[in-house]
Structure 1
Amino acid sequence: MNEFVWQQVLPHFGMTRDEANQDAKVAPLGNGHINDTFLVRSETGDFVLQRLNTQVFPTPWGLVGNAGIISEHLCAKRDSGDYQLQVVCPHKCSNQELGVDLGEQGFWRAISYLPYSHSIEVVESAEQAEVAAHAFGHFARSLSDLDANQIHDVIPKFHFLPGRIEALREAAEKDPLGRVEACREWVEFALGQTGLFDELRELEPKLPLRICHNDTKINNMLFDKRDMSAMAIIDLDTCMKGHLMYDFGDMVRTFCSPEAEDSTALDKVLARPEIFAALAAGYTKAMGEVLTEAERQSLWLGARIMPLMIGVRFLTDHLLGDTYFHIHRDNHNLDRAANQFSLYQSLLSQQDVLKPMLG
């Protein structure tokens, strides 16, 4: 892979293997489920190189265009003192485009790398939760004056629970790999959660359309390793028009459990009330008066929808042969699904404690 990157990809970003870059290195970076990501280190500067998964993102030019618009807006706000985080910006190709399409060899783009950055996979304290949630709220608030209609829908109906559950139903009926029988209990559990549809139909018409991150996992907020303050919001690939309840719900999904999202220790997959309280406080404080009353009321619905919906997506992918999310072991997506459904059940069991924390 490294030789291909050097010969076919990096020259498009103005980098060749010459005397100035003889000590440069390319190494895998992160553990994302979708794209292939590399860190390029050289004496002339470090940057992140990615090959986008065009099966997941069939309109990559729209994706990099969105990231360009959003990063430009945030940079302007940062320059005026209205945005307190660092901004991950695109590196243009030699022809000034935001990416390069190499056909069967993939669509590639480069973005800035932030030194001293640190990501975590599991929230260890309420303080970490509040710092990260405040950063995501600050990000959303800073985009609230950017016209959402400028942003391309890279994955239409990305957070649409009825569609995701219907896709699971179809996958279970087709059962192309004969996997349903081994996980029938989880399939039937997921298909039985349609009661949330009524709440969704009632609330959604009241919610303003925002530019949302749509993937507010804890590892998409970078800490500054020097003092563990918030440094940057990253991974703008799924930034699209939507509703803030899903961003809040994805924080609940990835902040609240003391276990990683693929842990099989399901008895330990719990929604920690102190973490829920911290992220609720951090997010709503950062949003301030920008958050409408209807949006505040929707946050508890988002908190329940997201672990359920991501669990449904993991389970659907398992039934269809693991074509969407990268896997690293047999039944990996099934393990992820069971994990998310367990978190959803934990949230439901603590509703009387957790819901009042949202005010």
Structure 2
Amino acid sequence: MTEDLKGYLFSVAEAFVDVSFIMDVVPLGNGNINNTYLVKLRNCGKEDFVLQKISSKVFKDPESIISNMQVSLDHIQLKLLSDVGNIEERNWRSTSLLKSRYNNKYWHRNQDEFWRATSYISAAYTTDLVRNYDDAEEVGIGLGIFHSLMDGLPLKKLIKTLDSFHVTPKYHQEYQKVSNMGVTDLCDKTQWCIDFIKEREPIIDVLENAICSGELCLRVIHGDPKVNNFLFDNITNKTVAMVDLDTLMTGLIHYDLGDCLRSACNPAGEEELDLSKVFFCIDSCKRLLNGYLSKTKKLLNEADYNYLYDAIRLIPFELGMRFFSDYLAGNIYFKVNHSSHNLERALVQFSLTKSIETQEFEILQCIEELR
């Protein structure tokens, strides 16, 4: 981090705390969208906090994101106080928003940039990959607790912040639009991606059709339940929080579960270049589903179970298509380290999809056993 950038971050953090209290500002996490930092404070009676710049390219109405976040955090706090979140003896924790000293609101605008600050959950850690099967089950439990805590929140209280989020047919339309403009870098990898998407066009509408038919209903979802958005307790190694609520909105819980399994059951991770190492770990899948369903059996109906495999298969395919579309469009959505970064990411997700398809029977059998 350059001194100019650090000085700038100090000035932004000053909107939430007196600058004399700030000891340092350091990068936090490795998200693909927003820039996130940890503001470390001197011994001043205040706690460290998280400072985050919300991407204006992705989120056109940042105030709505913060509104949704506040509504959900208030709901979680009520559930935690009433002890009805199916948490048992787990010390589940949630963040809180900090108000700006300048406008008394939960955000700070600096020219065209939109910043917010949240409390920092200490004595906890994140991991980009599940390290063992216990981790996988804990991630499942964490997601199940989150969905249980969100149950009962009126959907009308949430503002729609992203159009067509996880609506696979819309992403396919966007892909067709950019691909019809002509693929300038038509190599073996890009052709493989094009063929891969073409072969799976029949599955694109499966979840949206189930919504339209009334089989599946909308609920409150996290929207980005990848492994590093779960916090693990330093001592017990149990999940104690979910963070990054920017994409919290109404949707299918199948989106969350499929995305969570996509992230947790790929031991190679999302940035692996050797595609032979990318596979969907069925044992991690079983443990994660076991953990999730132990907290959500009362939330799910027969139709929910019937579409679990479709979601597990569809979500990595959808993300791969989004990465590939962004690559074709010139890398305008996701942050990249080089021009082919999104192509590499797409290949990982498509390889994961293919691995899921080869294990369809085992996954369906696991779901049936856990009903």
What is the CA distance between 1:141 and its match in structure 2?
1.4
Overall identity of the aligned pairs, in %: 29
CA distance in 1, matches of 2:155, 2:26: 35
* 3-state DSSP of counterpart to 2:343: helix
Question: How much does 1:10 deviate?
Answer: 2.2
Structure 1 residue ranges without an equivalent (≥5): none
Look up the SS of the partner of 1:91 in the other structure: coil
Whether the 8 Å contact between 1:149 and 1:241 is mirrored in structure 2 is: no
Q: Which amino acid aligns with 2:185?
A: R
Mapped to 2, the partners of 1:201 and 1:47 lie a distance apart of 39
Residues 98, 17 of structure 1: CA spacing in aligned structure 2 closer, same or farther, 3 A cutoff?
A: closer
Picking from 309, 316, 326, the partner of 1:300 is 309
Aligned-pair CA distance for 1:11: 2.8
What do the CA deviations read for 1:238-261 (whole angstroms, capped 9, x no partner)? 011110111110011101111111
- Structure 2 distance, partners of 1:333, 1:198, is 24
| Corresponding residue number in structure 2 for 1:82 | 84
Letter in 1 for 2:15: H
Q: Write out aligned runs for 1:194-273 (5 A).
A: 194-197=201-204, 199-204=206-211, 205-273=214-282
> Do the aligned partners of 1:203 and 1:294 also contact (CA within 8 Å) in 2?
no
TM (norm. structure 2) is 0.91
Find the counterpart in structure 1 of residue 130 from structure 2. Answer: 123
What residue number does 2:343 align with? 334
- Give 1:97's aligned residue: 105
SS in 1 for 2:307: helix
Aligned match of 2:297? 288
TM alignment of 1:1-359, pairs within 5 A: 1-7=5-11, 9-13=12-16, 15-18=17-20, 21=21, 24-43=23-42, 44-83=46-85, 84=87, 85-94=92-101, 95-104=103-112, 106-175=113-182, 178-181=184-187, 183-197=190-204, 199-204=206-211, 205-359=214-368
Q: Tell me, in whole angstroms, the C-alpha distance in 2 between the residues paired with 1:290 and 1:10.
A: 41
Is the 1:6–1:16 contact (alpha carbons within 8 Å) kept by the matching residues of 2? no
Q: Is the 8 A contact 2:258 2:315 kept in 1?
A: yes
Task: Tell me the CA shift for residue 198 of structure 1.
Answer: 5.1
Q: Which moved more, 1:80-89 or 1:198-207?
A: 198-207
- Report Cα offsets for 1:179-213 as digits up to 9, x if no partner: 34451221221133111135335422311210011
Q: Report the secondary structure of 1:31's partner residue.
A: coil
How many equivalent pairs are there? 352
Provide the rounded CA distance (Å) in 1 between the counterparts of 2:18 and 2:96.
22
In the alignment, is the contact (CA less than 8 A) between 1:140 and 1:211 conserved in 2?
A: yes
Alpha-carbon distance in 1 for matches of 2:236, 2:314 = 34
Is contact 1:172–1:180 with CA below 8 Å preserved after alignment? no
- The letter for the 2-side match of 1:112 is S
Gaps of 5+ in 2: none
Distance 1:254 1:201 in 2: 22
CA offset digits 1:110-142 (Å, max 9, x no partner): 011111111111112111111111111111111
**Amino acid aligned to 1:12:** A
For the residues of structure 1 that align with 2:84 and 2:208, how far apart are their CA atoms? 35
Is the CA contact (8 Å cut-off) linking 2:204 and 2:314 kept in structure 1?
Answer: no
* 2:298 match: secondary structure: helix
Measure, in 2, the Cα distance between the counterparts of 1:32 and 1:194: 29
Distance across 2 between alignment mates of 1:81 and 1:198: 39
Aligned Cα root-mean-square deviation (Å): 1.5
Moved more, 262-271 or 339-348: 262-271
- Give the letter for the 1:352 counterpart: F
Contact kept, 8 Å, 2:108 with 2:114, in 1: the verdict is: yes
Q: Distance in 2 between matches of 1:10 and 1:226?
A: 30
**Take 1:269 and 1:352, find their aligned partners in 2: how far apart are those partners?**
19
Which amino acid in 2 is paired with 1:247?
A: D
Answer yes or no: is the 8 Å Cα contact 2:93–2:241 preserved in 1: yes
Q: Secondary structure at the match of 2:294?
A: helix
Whichever residue aligns with residue 199 of structure 1, its letter is V
Rounded to whole Å, the distance in 2 between the matches of 1:6 and 1:190 is 45
Please report how far the alpha carbon of residue 5 of structure 1 lies from its aligned counterpart in structure 2 after TM superposition. 2.2
Q: CA deviation at 1:160?
A: 0.9
Residues 28-49 of structure 1 deviation map (CA, whole Å, 9 limit, x = unaligned): 1110000010100102320000
TM-score by length of 1: 0.94
Query: Separation in 1 of the partners of 2:205 and 2:340?
Result: 32
Letter in 1 for 2:18: T
Deviation at 1:54, TM superposition (A): 0.9
Say whether the 8 Å CA contact 2:126–2:229 is kept in structure 1.
yes
Amino acid of the residue matched to residue 92 of structure 1?
K
